[in-house]
């Protein structure tokens, strides 16, 4: 949809940003509680020879089995939420006027309740699929991940602001500058 590009634009403007996709990778590094819990739940088959999580193997398992995906989410989502809440608290303590937490599954996890405003970055399904294919995902991977999410129409309906990202980065930047909580950010 363009969440990462929007976050990068805002970070360039001085808005503090934390991306839960980054946190999700952090909580499953060797030595982290998340990796230990994932291994306990799914077995050593999801651990690569170097001790890191075999993300591809785990993804194939959880996107083929909704119960496995639910089990994984019950492990990782609380750990991820704890980290971004901690970051947001640091922003508040530092007196930041605004901050952005990038959460791909915001509504699916019920996290929207933590925010004063929600910005939805959206694009057409065709462009979303093309962007995912450009990242190297095959049709099965794209279908599995999209099936795990709410339809974009529902996310749009529940958001305070919508950025339609079917155009250029320049248009994305211009739209972000119109969002009231972000106005005045460089």
Q: In degrees to the nearest 10, what's the CA dihedral of 113, 114, 119, 123?
A: -70
CA distances from 156 to 83, 107, 121 (A): 26, 11, 9
Q: Where are the alpha helices (DSSP H) in the chain?
A: 3-12, 20-26, 33-42, 55-64, 66-93, 125-134, 139-147, 152-158, 169-176
Classified as helix, coil or strand, 161 is strand
- Is-contact 62 68, C-beta < 8 A? yes
pLDDT tens digits, one per residue of 145-157: 777 778 889 999 9
Across the range 94-104, mean pLDDT stands at 92
Q: How far apart are CA 77 and CA 41, in angstroms?
A: 15
Q: What is the pLDDT of residue 131?
A: 79
Percent of the chain with pLDDT over 70: 96
**Mean residue pLDDT across the chain:** 89
Across the range 161-171, mean pLDDT stands at 90
- pTM for the model stands at 0.84
Across the range 62-83, mean pLDDT stands at 93
Residue, of 59 and 129, whose pLDDT is higher: 59
pLDDT tens digits, one per residue of 26-63: 999 999 999 999 999 999 999 999 999 999 899 888 88
Q: What is the pLDDT of residue 181?
A: 65
Kindly list the structural domains of the chain, giving each domain's residue range(s) and its CATH number in brackets, ordered by start. 1-16+99-180 (3.40.50.300), 18-97 (3.40.50.300)
Which of 42-51, 101-110, 137-146, 168-177 shows the lowest mean pLDDT across its residues? Answer: 137-146
């Amino acid at each position: 949809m363009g969440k990462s590009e929007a976050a990068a634009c805002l970070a360039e403007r001085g808005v503090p940003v934390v991306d839960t996709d980054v946190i999700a990778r952090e909580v499953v590094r060797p030595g982290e509680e998340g990796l230990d819990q994932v291994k306990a739940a799914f077995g050593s088959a999801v651990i690569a020879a170097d001790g890191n999580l075999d993300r591809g193997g785990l993804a194939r398992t959880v996107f083929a089995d909704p119960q496995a995906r639910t089990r994984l989410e019950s492990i990782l989502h609380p750990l991820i939420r704890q980290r971004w809440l901690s970051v947001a608290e640091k922003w508040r303590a530092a007196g930041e006027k605004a901050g952005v937490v990038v959460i791909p599954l915001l509504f699916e996890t019920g996290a929207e309740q933590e925010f004063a405003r929600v910005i939805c970055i959206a694009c057409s399904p065709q462009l979303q699929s093309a962007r995912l294919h450009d990242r190297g995902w095959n049709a099965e991977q794209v279908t599995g991940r999209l099936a795990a999410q709410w339809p974009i129409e529902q996310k749009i309906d529940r958001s305070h602001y919508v950025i339609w990202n079917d155009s250029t980065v320049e248009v994305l930047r211009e739209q972000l500058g119109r969002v009231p909580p972000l106005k005045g950010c460089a």
